[in-house]
Amino acid sequence: MKRVAVLKGGMSPERDVSLVTGAAMAKSLREQGFDVTEIDVAVNLWEQLHAADPDVVINGLHGEWGEDGRVQGVLDLFGAPYSHSGVMASALAMDKHRAKAVLRDVGITVPDGMLVPREDAARAHPIEPPYVVKPNAQGSSVGVYIVRQGGHPATQMAENKDMGELVLVEAFIPGRELTVAVMDGKALAVTEIIPNTEWYDYEAKYADGGSRHVIPAQISDEAAQLCKTWALLAHETLGCKGVTRSDFRFDAKNLKKTNIVNKIVMLELNTQPGMTPTSLVPEQAGYVGMDFDQLCRWMVEDASWPR
Protein backbone atom coordinates (compact mmCIF):
# COMPACT_ATOMS: atom_id res chain seq x y z
CA MET A 1 0.00 0.00 0.00
CA LYS A 2 1.47 3.36 -1.08
CA ARG A 3 1.94 5.86 1.75
CA VAL A 4 0.78 9.36 0.80
CA ALA A 5 1.31 12.53 2.82
CA VAL A 6 -1.13 15.34 2.04
CA LEU A 7 0.15 18.80 2.97
CA LYS A 8 -2.56 21.23 4.05
CA GLY A 9 -3.18 24.30 6.20
CA GLY A 10 0.14 26.04 6.56
CA MET A 11 0.88 29.56 7.68
CA SER A 12 -0.47 31.82 4.92
CA PRO A 13 -3.67 33.91 4.88
CA GLU A 14 -5.09 31.15 2.66
CA ARG A 15 -4.80 28.55 5.42
CA ASP A 16 -8.56 27.95 5.72
CA VAL A 17 -8.95 27.19 2.01
CA SER A 18 -5.95 24.88 2.10
CA LEU A 19 -7.43 22.91 5.01
CA VAL A 20 -10.52 22.19 2.88
CA THR A 21 -8.43 21.37 -0.21
CA GLY A 22 -6.19 18.99 1.72
CA ALA A 23 -9.04 17.28 3.55
CA ALA A 24 -10.93 16.65 0.29
CA MET A 25 -7.91 15.08 -1.41
CA ALA A 26 -6.98 13.02 1.65
CA LYS A 27 -10.53 11.65 1.94
CA SER A 28 -10.57 10.64 -1.72
CA LEU A 29 -7.17 8.93 -1.60
CA ARG A 30 -7.96 7.15 1.67
CA GLU A 31 -11.19 5.78 0.20
CA GLN A 32 -9.19 4.52 -2.79
CA GLY A 33 -6.98 2.43 -0.52
CA PHE A 34 -3.93 4.65 -0.01
CA ASP A 35 -2.33 4.93 3.42
CA VAL A 36 -2.84 8.67 3.95
CA THR A 37 -1.27 10.97 6.52
CA GLU A 38 -2.59 14.53 6.66
CA ILE A 39 0.09 17.05 7.63
CA ASP A 40 -0.97 20.47 8.89
CA VAL A 41 2.24 22.16 7.82
CA ALA A 42 4.26 24.03 10.44
CA VAL A 43 7.78 25.43 10.60
CA ASN A 44 9.07 21.93 11.41
CA LEU A 45 7.88 20.45 8.08
CA TRP A 46 11.13 18.51 7.74
CA GLU A 47 10.40 16.61 10.96
CA GLN A 48 6.73 16.18 9.98
CA LEU A 49 7.74 14.56 6.69
CA HIS A 50 10.25 12.23 8.33
CA ALA A 51 7.64 11.15 10.88
CA ALA A 52 5.13 10.35 8.12
CA ASP A 53 7.78 8.67 5.90
CA PRO A 54 5.63 8.93 2.73
CA ASP A 55 6.24 7.36 -0.67
CA VAL A 56 4.52 10.36 -2.30
CA VAL A 57 3.70 13.91 -1.12
CA ILE A 58 0.58 15.70 -2.39
CA ASN A 59 0.87 19.45 -1.89
CA GLY A 60 -2.48 20.97 -0.96
CA LEU A 61 -1.05 24.26 0.33
CA HIS A 62 -1.97 27.72 -0.96
CA GLY A 63 -0.24 31.07 -0.69
CA GLU A 64 3.06 31.95 0.96
CA TRP A 65 5.19 28.99 2.08
CA GLY A 66 2.94 26.70 0.07
CA GLU A 67 3.19 27.64 -3.57
CA ASP A 68 6.05 30.14 -3.72
CA GLY A 69 8.95 27.67 -3.97
CA ARG A 70 9.94 27.50 -0.31
CA VAL A 71 8.04 24.33 0.61
CA GLN A 72 9.06 22.89 -2.77
CA GLY A 73 12.68 23.38 -1.69
CA VAL A 74 12.04 21.32 1.44
CA LEU A 75 10.38 18.64 -0.70
CA ASP A 76 13.38 18.56 -3.03
CA LEU A 77 15.66 17.99 -0.04
CA PHE A 78 13.34 15.31 1.35
CA GLY A 79 13.57 13.39 -1.91
CA ALA A 80 10.13 11.75 -2.27
CA PRO A 81 8.05 12.29 -5.43
CA TYR A 82 5.68 15.25 -4.98
CA SER A 83 2.83 16.90 -6.86
CA HIS A 84 2.42 20.22 -8.65
CA SER A 85 5.27 22.49 -9.74
CA GLY A 86 8.86 22.59 -8.52
CA VAL A 87 10.92 25.35 -6.95
CA MET A 88 11.64 27.57 -9.94
CA ALA A 89 8.18 27.50 -11.54
CA SER A 90 6.44 27.96 -8.18
CA ALA A 91 8.57 30.95 -7.20
CA LEU A 92 8.22 32.61 -10.59
CA ALA A 93 4.47 32.09 -10.97
CA MET A 94 3.85 33.35 -7.43
CA ASP A 95 5.72 36.58 -8.17
CA LYS A 96 2.95 38.06 -10.30
CA HIS A 97 4.96 41.04 -11.54
CA ARG A 98 7.92 39.01 -12.79
CA ALA A 99 5.71 36.24 -14.16
CA LYS A 100 3.84 38.75 -16.29
CA ALA A 101 7.12 40.05 -17.72
CA VAL A 102 7.99 36.51 -18.83
CA LEU A 103 4.53 35.87 -20.27
CA ARG A 104 4.55 39.19 -22.13
CA ASP A 105 7.82 38.16 -23.80
CA VAL A 106 6.17 35.07 -25.35
CA GLY A 107 3.25 37.05 -26.76
CA ILE A 108 0.61 36.67 -24.05
CA THR A 109 -1.33 39.85 -23.32
CA VAL A 110 -1.19 40.75 -19.61
CA PRO A 111 -2.25 43.88 -17.67
CA ASP A 112 0.09 46.85 -17.45
CA GLY A 113 1.28 47.24 -13.89
CA MET A 114 3.97 48.27 -11.43
CA LEU A 115 5.19 47.50 -7.92
CA VAL A 116 4.50 50.30 -5.42
CA PRO A 117 5.13 50.62 -1.65
CA ARG A 118 1.84 49.69 0.03
CA GLU A 119 1.64 52.84 2.16
CA ASP A 120 2.30 55.07 -0.86
CA ALA A 121 -0.53 53.39 -2.79
CA ALA A 122 -2.82 53.95 0.20
CA ARG A 123 -2.04 57.69 0.25
CA ALA A 124 -2.30 58.65 -3.41
CA HIS A 125 -3.26 57.18 -6.76
CA PRO A 126 -0.20 55.44 -8.28
CA ILE A 127 -1.91 55.49 -11.70
CA GLU A 128 -5.13 56.91 -13.07
CA PRO A 129 -8.25 55.01 -11.89
CA PRO A 130 -9.73 52.55 -12.50
CA TYR A 131 -7.05 50.18 -11.24
CA VAL A 132 -6.55 47.14 -9.02
CA VAL A 133 -4.18 46.82 -6.06
CA LYS A 134 -3.20 43.33 -4.92
CA PRO A 135 -0.40 41.53 -3.09
CA ASN A 136 2.38 40.54 -5.45
CA ALA A 137 2.58 37.05 -3.93
CA GLN A 138 -0.81 35.88 -2.70
CA GLY A 139 -3.77 34.09 -4.25
CA SER A 140 -7.47 33.43 -3.61
CA SER A 141 -8.23 37.17 -4.02
CA VAL A 142 -6.78 37.84 -0.55
CA GLY A 143 -6.25 41.58 -0.02
CA VAL A 144 -7.43 42.84 -3.42
CA TYR A 145 -8.71 46.40 -3.77
CA ILE A 146 -10.48 47.84 -6.82
CA VAL A 147 -10.28 51.63 -7.15
CA ARG A 148 -13.04 52.83 -9.44
CA GLN A 149 -13.11 55.80 -11.81
CA GLY A 150 -13.44 58.93 -9.66
CA GLY A 151 -12.76 56.95 -6.46
CA HIS A 152 -10.32 57.61 -3.65
CA PRO A 153 -7.15 55.61 -2.95
CA ALA A 154 -7.68 52.45 -0.89
CA THR A 155 -6.53 54.01 2.37
CA GLN A 156 -7.50 50.95 4.45
CA MET A 157 -4.73 48.84 2.95
CA ALA A 158 -2.10 50.93 4.77
CA GLU A 159 -2.76 48.71 7.82
CA ASN A 160 -3.07 45.46 5.85
CA LYS A 161 0.44 44.14 6.40
CA ASP A 162 -0.52 40.73 4.99
CA MET A 163 -0.24 42.34 1.55
CA GLY A 164 3.50 42.87 1.99
CA GLU A 165 5.52 46.08 1.76
CA LEU A 166 5.31 46.21 -2.05
CA VAL A 167 1.95 45.81 -3.78
CA LEU A 168 1.10 45.27 -7.43
CA VAL A 169 -0.90 48.04 -9.06
CA GLU A 170 -2.51 47.14 -12.39
CA ALA A 171 -4.90 48.78 -14.80
CA PHE A 172 -8.43 47.46 -14.23
CA ILE A 173 -9.41 45.05 -17.00
CA PRO A 174 -13.15 44.94 -17.70
CA GLY A 175 -14.90 41.95 -19.18
CA ARG A 176 -16.06 38.40 -18.56
CA GLU A 177 -14.11 36.17 -16.14
CA LEU A 178 -12.72 33.03 -17.80
CA THR A 179 -10.44 30.26 -16.55
CA VAL A 180 -8.60 27.29 -18.06
CA ALA A 181 -7.07 24.30 -16.28
CA VAL A 182 -4.00 22.59 -17.74
CA MET A 183 -2.98 19.05 -16.85
CA ASP A 184 -1.08 16.24 -18.53
CA GLY A 185 0.02 18.56 -21.35
CA LYS A 186 -3.53 19.58 -22.29
CA ALA A 187 -5.81 22.56 -21.72
CA LEU A 188 -9.03 21.01 -20.43
CA ALA A 189 -11.79 23.55 -21.04
CA VAL A 190 -12.84 27.18 -20.68
CA THR A 191 -15.15 28.05 -17.80
CA GLU A 192 -16.90 31.38 -17.42
CA ILE A 193 -17.25 32.50 -13.81
CA ILE A 194 -20.26 34.67 -13.05
CA PRO A 195 -19.88 36.00 -9.48
CA ASN A 196 -22.89 36.79 -7.35
CA THR A 197 -20.83 39.47 -5.62
CA GLU A 198 -19.54 42.68 -7.23
CA TRP A 199 -16.50 40.84 -8.55
CA TYR A 200 -14.81 37.42 -8.23
CA ASP A 201 -13.56 37.94 -4.68
CA TYR A 202 -12.78 35.48 -1.87
CA GLU A 203 -16.46 34.99 -1.02
CA ALA A 204 -17.39 34.39 -4.65
CA LYS A 205 -14.64 31.77 -4.94
CA TYR A 206 -15.35 29.74 -1.82
CA ALA A 207 -18.82 30.44 -0.39
CA ASP A 208 -21.74 28.24 -1.37
CA GLY A 209 -23.58 30.06 -4.13
CA GLY A 210 -20.85 32.68 -4.37
CA SER A 211 -20.58 32.29 -8.12
CA ARG A 212 -22.03 30.41 -11.06
CA HIS A 213 -19.78 28.44 -13.42
CA VAL A 214 -20.67 27.99 -17.09
CA ILE A 215 -18.72 25.16 -18.74
CA PRO A 216 -17.99 25.33 -21.55
CA ALA A 217 -18.05 29.13 -21.60
CA GLN A 218 -20.52 30.50 -24.14
CA ILE A 219 -17.92 32.29 -26.23
CA SER A 220 -16.69 31.93 -29.80
CA ASP A 221 -14.48 28.99 -30.74
CA GLU A 222 -11.76 31.50 -31.62
CA ALA A 223 -11.84 33.10 -28.16
CA ALA A 224 -11.93 29.73 -26.40
CA GLN A 225 -9.01 28.40 -28.42
CA LEU A 226 -6.90 31.48 -27.68
CA CYS A 227 -7.49 31.10 -23.92
CA LYS A 228 -6.55 27.41 -24.07
CA THR A 229 -3.47 28.14 -26.20
CA TRP A 230 -2.25 30.84 -23.83
CA ALA A 231 -2.94 28.73 -20.72
CA LEU A 232 -0.84 25.88 -22.09
CA LEU A 233 1.88 28.27 -23.31
CA ALA A 234 2.04 29.94 -19.87
CA HIS A 235 2.22 26.54 -18.13
CA GLU A 236 5.11 25.45 -20.33
CA THR A 237 6.94 28.81 -20.38
CA LEU A 238 7.01 29.08 -16.58
CA GLY A 239 8.15 25.45 -16.32
CA CYS A 240 5.07 24.22 -14.45
CA LYS A 241 4.22 20.59 -13.68
CA GLY A 242 1.05 18.80 -12.63
CA VAL A 243 -2.12 20.90 -12.66
CA THR A 244 -2.29 24.67 -13.13
CA ARG A 245 -5.14 27.11 -13.72
CA SER A 246 -4.92 30.33 -15.71
CA ASP A 247 -7.39 33.20 -15.34
CA PHE A 248 -8.46 35.61 -18.08
CA ARG A 249 -10.67 38.60 -18.78
CA PHE A 250 -12.55 38.72 -22.09
CA ASP A 251 -13.76 42.21 -23.08
CA ALA A 252 -16.18 40.98 -25.74
CA LYS A 253 -18.20 44.23 -25.79
CA ASN A 254 -15.25 46.45 -26.70
CA LEU A 255 -16.10 47.36 -30.29
CA LYS A 256 -12.91 49.41 -30.63
CA LYS A 257 -10.89 46.20 -30.53
CA THR A 258 -11.74 44.08 -33.54
CA ASN A 259 -8.96 41.49 -33.20
CA ILE A 260 -9.77 38.73 -30.68
CA VAL A 261 -6.17 38.85 -29.37
CA ASN A 262 -6.80 42.41 -28.17
CA LYS A 263 -9.99 41.46 -26.33
CA ILE A 264 -8.44 38.81 -24.05
CA VAL A 265 -6.03 39.51 -21.18
CA MET A 266 -4.40 36.88 -18.98
CA LEU A 267 -4.53 37.88 -15.32
CA GLU A 268 -2.40 35.18 -13.69
CA LEU A 269 -1.44 31.51 -13.50
CA ASN A 270 -2.03 29.48 -10.33
CA THR A 271 0.36 26.58 -9.70
CA GLN A 272 -1.71 25.17 -6.79
CA PRO A 273 -5.37 25.53 -7.80
CA GLY A 274 -8.00 24.90 -5.16
CA MET A 275 -9.55 21.45 -4.74
CA THR A 276 -12.51 22.51 -2.61
CA PRO A 277 -16.13 21.51 -3.37
CA THR A 278 -16.60 24.75 -5.35
CA SER A 279 -13.23 24.65 -7.12
CA LEU A 280 -12.81 24.99 -10.86
CA VAL A 281 -10.17 22.35 -11.65
CA PRO A 282 -12.21 19.36 -10.39
CA GLU A 283 -15.16 20.76 -12.33
CA GLN A 284 -13.16 20.97 -15.56
CA ALA A 285 -11.69 17.52 -15.00
CA GLY A 286 -15.22 16.19 -14.60
CA TYR A 287 -16.24 17.91 -17.82
CA VAL A 288 -13.60 15.92 -19.76
CA GLY A 289 -14.56 12.66 -18.05
CA MET A 290 -12.29 12.48 -15.00
CA ASP A 291 -14.07 12.36 -11.63
CA PHE A 292 -12.55 13.70 -8.40
CA ASP A 293 -11.17 10.33 -7.31
CA GLN A 294 -9.49 9.82 -10.68
CA LEU A 295 -8.05 13.34 -10.50
CA CYS A 296 -6.54 12.72 -7.05
CA ARG A 297 -5.15 9.36 -8.16
CA TRP A 298 -3.63 11.02 -11.23
CA MET A 299 -1.83 13.49 -8.97
CA VAL A 300 -0.26 10.60 -7.07
CA GLU A 301 0.74 8.87 -10.31
CA ASP A 302 2.05 12.12 -11.84
CA ALA A 303 4.19 12.99 -8.79
CA SER A 304 7.93 12.92 -9.38
CA TRP A 305 11.25 14.07 -7.92
CA PRO A 306 12.79 16.46 -8.67
CA ARG A 307 10.08 18.61 -10.24
83 has catalytic annotation = no
The active-site residue out of 192, 246, 274, 279 is 274
Three-state SS annotation for the chain = CCEEEEEECCCCCCHHHHHHHHHHHHHHHHHCCCEEEEEECCCCHHHHHHHHCCCEEEECCCCCCCCCCHHHHHHHHHCCCECCCCHHHHHHHHCHHHHHHHHHHCCCCCCCEEEEEHHHHHHCCCCCCCEEEEECCCCCCCCCEEECCCCCCCHHHHHCHHHCCEEEEEECCCCEEEEEEEECCEEEEEEEEEECCCCCCHHHHHCCCCEEEECCCCCCHHHHHHHHHHHHHHHHHCCCCCCEEEEEEECCCCCCCCCHHHHEEEEEEECCCCCCCCCHHHHHHHHCCCCHHHHHHHHHHHCECCC
131 has catalytic annotation = no
Q: Is the pLDDT of residue 114 over 50?
A: yes
The active-site residue out of 69, 268, 283, 307 is 268
CATH of 3-84+294-302, one of 3.90.480.20, 3.40.1010.20, 3.50.50.60, 3.40.50.20: 3.40.50.20
247 has catalytic annotation = yes
CATH class of 93-110+174-290: alpha beta
The active-site residue out of 118, 176, 245, 249 is 245
3 has catalytic annotation = no
The active-site residue out of 206, 211, 242, 249 is 206
Fold type of domain 113-171: Dna Ligase; domain 1 (3.30.1490)
The active-site residue out of 67, 201, 247, 283 is 247
State pLDDT tens for residues 80-109: 999 999 999 999 999 999 999 999 999 999
Angle made by CA atoms 246, 181, 134, in degrees to the nearest 5 = 25
pTM strictly above 0.95: no
State pLDDT tens for residues 209-268: 568 999 999 999 999 999 999 999 999 999 999 999 999 999 977 656 667 888 999 999
Report the pLDDT value the prediction gives residue 142, as an integer from 0 to 100.
Answer: 60
Report the pLDDT value the prediction gives residue 198, as an integer from 0 to 100.
Answer: 59
Q: Taking the domains of the chain in order of start, what are their residue ranges?
A: 3-84+294-302, 93-110+174-290, 113-171
Q: Is the pLDDT of residue 204 over 60?
A: no
206 has catalytic annotation = yes
140 has catalytic annotation = yes
The active-site residue out of 14, 38, 67, 95 is 14
286 has catalytic annotation = no
State pLDDT tens for residues 25-35: 999 999 999 99
16 has catalytic annotation = no
Q: Is the pLDDT of residue 291 over 90?
A: yes
